[in-house]
């Protein structure tokens, strides 16, 4: 059986403690397509990319997730070192807003708004109760964005 690495989103063989792709300790989740609900986490910051590469990577990851039946995609884009949010974070969210308007994605939830008391989050928790187990729920993490796919 395979599992999904929480950091890089790659499939990792069951029983492997370190992800061979990113080297992070594996917190195993069932592989995409193995059940009713599927979630994937992708770190857009790997390799400290420039903006264009990060946005290209985000678009590829979203397209791949849609093809593979992923319901919720957690994008790790970081917050930036400026204290007001980095350019990758800002531009990812602008792009996601555009994708939402075009109906390419259903919705997105900013990490700082991923709180069980927020109305949009409540709606997604009703749709996907498994999200209640997400480690980022109620943490106010400004370095991530959850993408709800169609």
Question: 55: part of which helix (H) or strand (E)?
Answer: helix 51-67
Per-residue pLDDT of 1-37, as tens digits, reads 456 666 666 666 666 667 776 666 654 444 444 457 8
pLDDT in tens, 120-148: 999 999 999 999 999 999 999 999 999 99
CATH code for the structural domain at 36-148: 3.30.1370.110
The Cα–Cα gap between 130 and 125 comes to 7
Three-state DSSP at 12 gives: strand
What pLDDT, on a 0 to 100 scale, did the predictor assign at position 83? 63
Domains of the chain, by residue range, sit at 1-31, 36-148
**2-40 in b/e burial notation, b at 16+ Cβ within 10 A?**
ebbbbbbbeebeeeeeebeebeeebebbebbeeeeebbb
């Amino acid at each position: 059986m395979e599992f999904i690495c929480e950091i890089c989103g790659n499939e990792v063989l069951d029983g492997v403690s370190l992800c061979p792709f990113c080297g992070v300790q594996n917190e195993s989740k069932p592989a995409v397509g193995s059940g009713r609900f599927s979630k994937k986490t992708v770190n857009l910051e790997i390799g400290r990319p420039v903006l264009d590469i990060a946005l290209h990577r985000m678009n590829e990851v979203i397209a791949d997730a849609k093809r593979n039946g992923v319901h919720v995609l957690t994008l790790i884009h970081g917050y930036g070192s400026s204290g007001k949010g980095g350019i990758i974070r800002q531009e990812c969210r602008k792009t996601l807003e555009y994708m939402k308007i075009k109906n390419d994605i259903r919705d997105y939830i900013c990490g700082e708004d991923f709180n069980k008391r927020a109305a949009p989050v409540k709606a997604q928790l009703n749709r996907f109760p498994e999200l209640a187990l997400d480690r980022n729920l109620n943490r106010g993490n400004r370095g991530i964005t959850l993408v709800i796919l169609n």
